[in-house]
Each structure stands twice: as C-alpha cells, then as structure tokens.
Amino acid sequence: MLVAAAVCPCPPLLVPQVAGGAAAEMDDARAACYDAVAVLAAARADRLLVVGPAEPPDRGAFPAGTRGSLRGFGVDVEVGLGKGEPGERELPPSLTVGAWLLERTGWRNAPVEGLGVGEPLEPERCAEVGRELAAGPERLALLVMGDGSACRSLKAPGHHDERAAAFDAAAARALGGANTAALAALDAGLARTLRAAGRSGWQVLAGAAEGAGLAGRLLYDAAPYGVGYFVASWS
C-alpha cells in the first residue's frame, strides 16, 4: 500500500554543479525537494521507488544499487539507488536527479529501486502500473520525478504555447490536493504537445494512491526557465 509520495522536478539544473553560477536560481525548488523527501523519510516505508520519465532503452525497472551520472551535462557527479550491486544499465537523467536528492538528504530508510516510464504511456496503463505497485502489503513510498510544460515563455525549450499555463495550473492543483481523479484526467496528447515530461509519472502516482486517503501539500510552483516545476508532498 502507498503510505507517502513526493513529487519533484527533474532538470539536471537542480544539481548545483550542473547549474554553476545560476545555481541560486533553483535554491527554492531545491529546498522544497529536501522538505518533500523528509516527509517520505518520516513515513517509514518498507520500500521506496523512484519514478521518472525515460527514453528507450532506459525504460523499465532499475534494481537497488544501479548507478547514474551527470557527466553528459559536463560535471563529474555519480550517484546510485541506495545499496546494492550496480546494474548493467545506467539510470536515465530523471532517476539520476532523484538519486542525487536522496543522497543529498542522507536517505537511510527503506531500500530504493527505480522505474523509468515512457512519455507515450497511455493514462489507463499508467494507472494500472500504479495499482500494481501499491497492491502488495508492504508500505510503499514513491518519489516521482517530472516536469510540467516546457512552453511557458518565448525562451522556453518548447517556445510559448498559450495553453501551457492552464495545463500547469491544473497539474499543480491536482498535485497539491492529492487529487487522483484530476491527475488521471490530464490530457496525454496535450501533455505531449506541451512537452510535459511528468505526466506519465504523475498518473502512475494517481493509480498507486487510489483509495489510500493521502493528503497533499504543494510546496513549490514556478516556471523559472519557462518550464513548469512543481514540488508536492503526499502523506
């Protein structure tokens, strides 16, 4: 059963070494992520699963101990999913940022695994995956990494789209209210158009949290680079 969840953005810029001189611009987001992870730690789960967007061939399960690095972003930062033997595959960037957050906050609680989900995964399948994850008797916690739309300004990666602000506002309300129905109702096609990489992970969370009775709190909601970044805590 799902006992807690944290939702965090996954840009490598969250890591100060990657951001360099602009690291301070993400201070508030970073601090909110630390607070959300602290709520996960307090839940005393039996298992923590880090969920994030991934491109082929980096989709699917990653066992405890799997390593990831940010060398592709110009910095010598390497992290892993808790204790365990390194896997044959490296973590995708989203899960690497999640593993970095856990290491930075000194995670010593439940064993950690990862799940890379594809952006094209249909909402119903996302919900099914979430239900399957939460179906067992163990106390499960989720760290869900993912961004909102990338079209909030003219300088955004996806340029400006007038629909982006409303999409992100709906996502923020749903995440802040732990509203599983509203998350499940997010339009996958529009999310794809707006380059919202968090949609599939959020809908996995929605499936996992059905009937769990969790309360949500929105800790951060901003678009500093024209990309919607949200931090939320469910417990």
Does pTM top 0.85 for this prediction? yes
Fold type of domain 2-234: Protocatechuate 4,5-dioxygenase; Chain B (3.40.830)
pLDDT, average across residues 211-217:
97
Percent of the chain whose predicted confidence (pLDDT) is above 70? 100
What residue segments make up the domains of the chain, in order of their start?
A: 2-234
* Lookup result for tokens 């678009």: 223
Candidates 101, 93, 87; CA nearest to 32 is 101
Per-residue pLDDT tens digits for 159-177: 999 999 999 999 999 999 9
Cα dihedral value 205, 210, 213, 219, nearest 10: 20
